[in-house]
Amino acid sequence: MLDFELLRAFVTVADCGGFHRAAERLNLTQSTVSQQIKRLELETERPLFRRTTRSVVLTDDGEMLLEDARRLLQFEEAARHRLAAPRLSGTVRLGVVEEVAGGSLPSALGRFAKLHPGVRLEVQIGVSAELIEQLNAGRLDVVFAKRPLGTSKGRLVWREPLVWAAADTFDLVPGAALPLALYRERSVSREAALAALNDNEVTWEIVYTSPSLTGVRAAALAGLAITPLPASALIAGLRILGVEEGLPRLPDLEFAIYEKARPDKAAAALAAVLPTHCTGTITPGDLR
């Protein structure tokens, strides 16, 4: 097992380009730093630097070790922060949209629970507008939701395409109103879809509504209608319809974290963890 102090000296010398400046940064004597590098070279059985009268340059072995050493030091620093952090307690009320809840959220919450076993989590799944209203009313502490179009509130976590989804066997009927399966009122996806259709003078009718992603997606899978979905919500049996089929382009969806005005430490800690462990996997370029 390599000594972290030796690795820290090694990375500092590489970054500073010499022993003198590295010693100043580490608040050590130059001879101490030199001895640490010699010890590391003995442990690795590899020369890590080429020394001349004017410069210190990494060897090929040193170049290979450098990135690994950086990662190890980052892990060590993160572990120190976690162990030094005060123990959190209390209850955090989290609101999430179904698109997030069905993705990487469970593993992110599991990691948070291991880090902060004294914090009790209450999770509510809903539609973005309703969750944000509950946050503003003080009934939720953190919300992870789709950002309403045209707003910049919340902390953006990721952006992904909103697409028209239909069953593989679905056929558009020329001249007929476009059958839609949509969330119930006040959904970001619903409003974006209807605005795009109206702007392009496409005739439509809502034939199926549901309060959930599962519901509208099931309607599309059954061939009852088409539905606007985040690209990451597409599953086997669904295909994307686009301008080739006469449908207008849809705007990207933005997923953001919202916090109450004065979050307690536990709520702030959860809001900080979620963007790190919950990320989108689809970008507009993936669909071209």
List, for residues 148-196, the tens digit of each pLDDT value: 877 878 888 888 999 999 999 999 988 899 999 999 878 899 999 999 9
Question: From the CB of residue 70, how many other CB atoms can be counted at a distance below 10 Å?
Answer: 15
Name the band, by pLDDT with cuts 50, 70 and 90, for residue 285.
very low
Structure token digits, residue 193: 């879809």
Question: From the CB of residue 33, how many other CB atoms can be counted at a distance below 10 Å?
Answer: 24
Say what the pLDDT of residue 115 is.
Answer: 83
Say what the pLDDT of residue 84 is.
Answer: 66
Say what the pLDDT of residue 195 is.
Answer: 94
Say what the pLDDT of residue 277 is.
Answer: 66
| Domain architecture of the chain: domains with CATH | 4-84 (1.10.10.10), 90-158+254-274 (3.40.190.10), 159-251 (3.40.190.10)
Higher pLDDT, 249 or 85: 249
Say what the pLDDT of residue 197 is.
Answer: 95
* Spatial distance between the Cα atoms of 88 and 118, rounded to a whole number of angstroms: 6
> Considering only CA atoms, which of 255, 264, 260, 268 is closest in space to residue 101?
255
**pLDDT exceeds 50 at position 54:** yes
Name the band, by pLDDT with cuts 50, 70 and 90, for residue 286.
very low
User: What's the whole-number mean pLDDT along residues 269-275?
Assistant: 87
Q: What is the mean pLDDT of the chain?
A: 88
Say what the pLDDT of residue 75 is.
Answer: 83
Say what the pLDDT of residue 52 is.
Answer: 77
Higher pLDDT, 252 or 53: 252
> Considering only CA atoms, which of 232, 216, 237, 219 is closest in space to residue 167?
237
Q: In the chain, what percentage of residues exceed pLDDT 70?
A: 93
> Considering only CA atoms, which of 259, 216, 254, 255 is closest in space to residue 238?
216
Structure token digits, residue 185: 């009122």
Do the Cβ atoms of 196 and 177 come closer than 8 Å? no
User: What's the whole-number mean pLDDT along residues 3-14?
Assistant: 91
Strand pairing class (252-259; 142-146): antiparallel
Say what the pLDDT of residue 85 is.
Answer: 61
Name the band, by pLDDT with cuts 50, 70 and 90, for residue 284.
very low
Higher pLDDT, 133 or 76: 133
Question: From the CB of residue 85, how many other CB atoms can be counted at a distance below 10 Å?
Answer: 12
Q: In the chain, what percentage of residues exceed pLDDT 90?
A: 54
List, for residues 193-228, the tens digit of each pLDDT value: 999 999 999 999 999 999 889 999 999 999 999 999
Question: Counting every residue, how long is the chain?
Answer: 288
* Spatial distance between the Cα atoms of 60 and 56, rounded to a whole number of angstroms: 13
Say what the pLDDT of residue 106 is.
Answer: 87
List, for residues 105-150, the tens digit of each pLDDT value: 888 898 888 888 899 999 999 989 899 999 999 999 999 999 887 7
